[in-house]
Amino acid sequence: AQSVTQLDSQVPVFEEAPVELRCNYSSSVSVYLFWYVQYPNQGLQLLLKYLSGSTLVKGINGFEAEFNKSQTSFHLRKPSVHISDTAEYFCAVSEGSGSARQLTFGSGTQLTVLP
Amino acid sequence: EAQVTQNPRYLITVTGKKLTVTCSQNMNHEYMSWYRQDPGLGLRQIYYSMNVEVTDKGDVPEGYKVSRKEKRNFPLILESPSPNQTSLYFCASSFYRGQGASNYGYTFGSGTRLTVV
């Protein structure tokens, strides 16, 4: 069964600093990987996804993530954050074959950008 | 506009009073799913449906029912709500996973915040 671990529940960072939100997954088969963002009192918005091909994936709002199969990681990065990036971020995995059953989420990372 | 629509956005109810949260999508997606979000736990899947009349349990199905009579609709039913079902609920839909299909991905509704007293 697949699972997702987001190693940091809270990440405070100063405005214009770089940030990395960590995500590790476990699965016995190939996977599709996603990062979602949830702003306060809103639903989930897709930031980026890895389906196949290049392991460096660029998303919206200047975010990018790198798929590392050997380390089973999909860390999210942004070189310079803004106050408006304050939100909760969720990593999710879907297995690339077999049942369409499951998009499994991590427990989330609250990113707080400080002025 | 392509979207998943949930109603209501907010709901306060009493223990034991049956309720239904509706979910509708206009993207002709085969796959639909319900999640609940609780602090520190992320999103956990309640039920999913791979197509009309095909549903199956997720990780936390106890106390919930679903039906999929039409492709676009996937209501979530709580026949006897209890306080431990107080949560934020999300409906999501997707095309069925195709190998490397670039349009594969999940679209989420805006959420339903349910409080059971």
Q: Which position has the higher pLDDT, B41 or B76?
A: B76
- Lowest pLDDT segment from A75-79, A101-105, B24-28, B33-37: A101-105
Cβ distance B90 to A103 less than 8 Å, yes or no, reads no
Q: What is the mean pLDDT of residues B10-28?
A: 96
pLDDT of residue B99: 47
Residue A7 forms contact with B (CB below 8 Å): no
Q: For chain A, what is the mean pLDDT?
A: 90
Bridging pattern class, strands B112-116 and B10-13: parallel
CA distance A67 to A51: 10
pLDDT digits (tens, 9 = 90+) for B54-71: 999 999 999 999 999 999
In the stretch 40-69 of chain B, residues with CB closer than 8 A to chain A read: 40-45, 48, 50, 56, 58
Task: Give me the DSSP letters along chain B.
Answer: ---EEEE-SEEEE-TT--EEEEEEESS--SEEEEEEEETTTEEEEEEEEEETTEEEE-S--TT-EE--SSSSB--EEESS--GGG-EEEEEEEEPPP-TT-TT---EE---EEEEE-
Instruction: Please say if the pLDDT value at position B97 is more than 70.
Output: no
Q: What percent of chain B lies above the pLDDT cut of 90?
A: 76
